[in-house]
């Protein structure tokens, strides 16, 4: 149970409303309605997720100790979260000892303000960025923009999303919903200095972005990054990436500002051994990612000379205080659960309204923001799953997402569950708590045969059941229930005959 009254200001704080991207404007079914109407998007997503899904299965299947790695990854994360305050302090001390500066941000508002102040202090009006979920979550680019500082995403997919005035729809592949002709259009319209004859050959598109980004790497003195891991023992931060843009941002500028969710801590340097096997295989389906960059404080004469870490709470402590939230914080953002999710495959990431889409988003987002009443779009997220369990099987740190979803549904109903649905559920519970009442209910269901008529199926029902019959029939209830048959002469004779066959 949550310790905090949902919807009430309390401590620890939830992620505040009106800043960042943890809350859409529509409920999941409403947003999904729009996304489902976009066949191009659905084709793009299905193709991409199926490709990554198969690659992942191939490379995880070739490790004989994959299950042991998952067990270890999960155990390290559980241990981390159980003693997070202590590990964060150890991390802070290690960063400071190596010449870095640590800032604590209770929420998105504080984090945005801290980063803005740090950038302003450098005098630069531009920053380059390494792909980061945390800065998406707090809406950092938009906040910097509002004070006249221009942020450039340097990950190719992030850049496409940014230039397209769009939002990422996947943790790992933010532009998963775009194809190359759309990307060409975006570059032609939005990228300064692009060749007007650019075609949609992926190599040419990559070359155009490289030219654009090289200039930024060489001229912008401030970089903002996230972190995949923060190591408590040494104060080291790590970023895992594919394109090398991250390494440029982490080494070329004078000032480096890292925004990291407090759950990204791992205790020991040696723990990387586990996570650097789990993460790339689960996320891109590669044995190893092309670039793993690690940095510890500052080194005079080499790399950024000013180094800051902003430790972001934004609802994490509140999540930590709850048994479900604590499990969700184990997530290493590999996105494997998105790529196997049949719901995500149909709707894409935008339907979730949050920086964190897919199965883990459906669990994590309501945890970070709280579910503030019936009309909160985030309160619809725990229901955006058929509970098929594919996410649990895929997760490298064994987060039991279906069970967490069921728990969150329970919490949602506990807080807001009065209405026709609650009445129907109560009625069903009463009807089915005794066989006598159940038999009566079955009789009433038998009336369905009248509705079905001769064709034997029911094709229209009133709302909310019309959601079913809009696309699916329901069989008419049969003449006899099983229990009626069992008691009938016919049923007894059939069983007697079967018994005779057994002994013959």
Partner 1 sequence: MRIALFATCIGDTLFPDASKSTALLLTRLGHDVVFPPGQTCCGQMHVNTGYQPDALPLVENYAENFGDGSIDAIVAPSGSCVGSVRHQHEIVARRYGTTALCGRVETVKAKTYELSELLVDVLGVTDVGAYFPHRVTYHPTCHSLRMLRVGEKPLRLLRAVREIDLAELPAADSCCGFGGTFAIKNAETSTAMLADKIRNVGDTGAEFCCAGDSSCLMHIGGGMTRLRMATRTIHLAEILASVESKVASGVTV
Please, which of residues 281-300 interact with ligand SF4 by CB under 6 A?
282
Nearest CA to 230 among 273, 262, 278?
262
Nearest CA to 171 among 383, 331, 394?
331
Name the segment binding partner 1 (CB under 8 A); options: 173-181, 208-216, 258-266, 342-350: 342-350
**According to CB under 6 A, which residues from 350 to 389 bind ligand SF4?**
360
**According to CB under 6 A, which residues from 264 to 283 bind ligand SF4?**
282
- Tokens 């590669």 sit at which residue? 286
Name the segment binding partner 1 (CB under 8 A); options: 136-144, 165-173, 303-311, 483-491: 483-491
Q: Which of 70, 167, 184, 333 contacts ligand SF4 by CB under 6 A?
A: 333
Instruction: Return d(Cα 337, Cα 358) in angstroms, integer.
Output: 7
Of 206 and 432, which CB lies nearer to partner 1 in the complex structure?
432
| Count of alpha carbons within 13 angstroms of residue 459, beta-carbon side | 4
Name the segment binding ligand SF4 (CB under 6 A); options: 42-50, 332-340, 406-414, 469-477: 332-340
* Terminal-residue alpha carbon distance, the chain: 59
337 binds, among ligand SF4, partner 1, none (CB under 5 to 8 A by kind): ligand SF4
329 binds ligand SF4 (CB under 6 A): no
Do residues 239 and 275 touch, judged by C-beta distance below 8 A? Answer: no
φ, ψ for residue 256, nearest 5 deg: -125, 125
Least distance between ligand SF4 and beta carbon 120 (Å): 34
Q: How many residues are there in the chain? A: 504
Torsion of CA 25, 29, 35, 39, to 10 degrees: -170
Q: Which of 4, 57, 388, 452 contacts partner 1 by CB under 8 A?
A: 388
Of 246 and 359, which CB lies nearer to partner 1 in the complex structure?
359
186 binds ligand SF4 (CB under 6 A): no
Of 143 and 326, which CB lies nearer to ligand SF4 in the complex structure?
326
Q: Which of 125, 150, 247, 409 contacts partner 1 by CB under 8 A?
A: 409
Do residues 63 and 69 touch, judged by C-beta distance below 8 A? Answer: yes
Of 129 and 333, which CB lies nearer to ligand SF4 in the complex structure?
333
Name the segment binding ligand SF4 (CB under 6 A); options: 56-64, 76-84, 160-168, 325-333: 325-333
474 binds, among partner 1, ligand SF4, none (CB under 5 to 8 A by kind): partner 1
Cα angle 454, 460, 461 (rounded to 5 degrees) comes to 120
Q: Which of 213, 343, 399, 408 contacts ligand SF4 by CB under 6 A?
A: 399
User: One symbol per residue from 418 to 437: x for binding partner 1 (CB under 8 A), - otherwise; what is it?
Assistant: ---xx--xx-xxx-xxxx--
Instruction: Return d(Cα 285, Cα 283) in angstroms, integer.
Output: 6
DSSP labels, 25-92: SS-HHHHHHHHHT-HHHHHHHHHHHHHHHHHHHHHHHT-TTHHHHHHHHHHHHHHHHHTHHHHHHHHH
Which residues make up the interface to ligand SF4 (CB under 6 A)? 282, 331-337, 360, 394-397, 399
């Amino acid at each position: 149970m949550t310790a905090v009254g949902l919807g009430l200001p309390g401590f620890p704080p939830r992620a505040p409303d009106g800043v960042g991207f943890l809350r859409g404007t529509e409920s999941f079914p409403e947003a999904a309605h729009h996304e489902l109407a976009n066949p191009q998007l659905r084709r793009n997503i299905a193709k991409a997720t199926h490709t990554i899904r198969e690659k992942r299965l191939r490379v995880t299947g070739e490790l004989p100790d994959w299950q042991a790695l998952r067990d270890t990854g999960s155990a390290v994360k559980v241990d981390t979260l159980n003693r997070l305050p202590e590990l964060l302090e150890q991390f802070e001390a290690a960063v400071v000892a190596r010449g870095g500066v640590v800032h604590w941000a209770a929420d998105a508002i504080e984090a945005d303000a801290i980063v803005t102040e740090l950038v302003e202090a450098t005098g630069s009006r531009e920053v380059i960025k390494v792909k980061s979920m945390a800065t998406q979550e707090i809406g950092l680019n938009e906040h910097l923009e509002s004070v006249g500082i221009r942020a450039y995403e340097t990950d190719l997919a992030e850049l496409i999303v940014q230039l397209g005035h769009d939002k990422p729809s996947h943790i790992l592949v933010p532009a998963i919903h775009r194809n190359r002709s759309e990307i060409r259009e975006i570059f032609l319209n939005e990228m300064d200095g692009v060749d007007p004859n650019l075609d949609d050959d992926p190599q040419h598109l990559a070359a155009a972005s490289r030219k654009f980004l090289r200039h930024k790497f060489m001229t912008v003195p401030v970089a903002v990054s996230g972190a995949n891991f923060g190591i408590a023992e040494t104060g080291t931060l790590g970023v895992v990436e594919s394109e090398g843009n991250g390494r440029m941002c982490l080494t070329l500028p004078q000032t480096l500002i890292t925004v990291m969710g407090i759950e990204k801590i791992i205790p020991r340097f040696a723990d990387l051994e586990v996570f650097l096997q789990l993460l790339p295989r689960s996320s891109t389906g590669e044995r190893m990612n092309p670039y793993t960059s690690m940095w510890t404080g500052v080194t005079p004469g080499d790399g950024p000379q000013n180094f800051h870490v902003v430790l972001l709470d934004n609802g994490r402590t509140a999540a930590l205080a709850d048994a479900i939230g604590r499990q969700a914080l184990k997530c290493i953002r590999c996105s494997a659960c998105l790529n196997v999710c049949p719901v995500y495959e149909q709707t894409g990431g935008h339907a979730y309204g949050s920086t964190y889409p897919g199965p883990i988003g459906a669990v994590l987002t309501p945890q970070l923001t709280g579910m503030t009443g019936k009309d909160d779009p985030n309160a619809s997220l725990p229901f955006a799953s058929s509970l098929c369990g594919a996410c649990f099987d895929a997760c490298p740190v064994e987060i039991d997402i279906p069970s967490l979803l069921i728990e969150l549904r329970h919490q949602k109903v506990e807080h807001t569950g009065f209405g026709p649905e609650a009445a129907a559920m109560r009625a069903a519970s009463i009807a089915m708590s005794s066989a006598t009442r159940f038999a009566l209910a079955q009789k009433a269901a038998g009336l369905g045969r009248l509705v079905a008529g001769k064709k034997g199926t029911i094709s229209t029902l009133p709302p909310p059941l019309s959601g079913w019959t809009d696309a699916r029939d329901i069989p008419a209830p049969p003449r006899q229930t099983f229990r009626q048959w069992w008691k009938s002469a016919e049923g007894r004779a059939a069983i007697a005959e079967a018994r005779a066959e057994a002994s013959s």
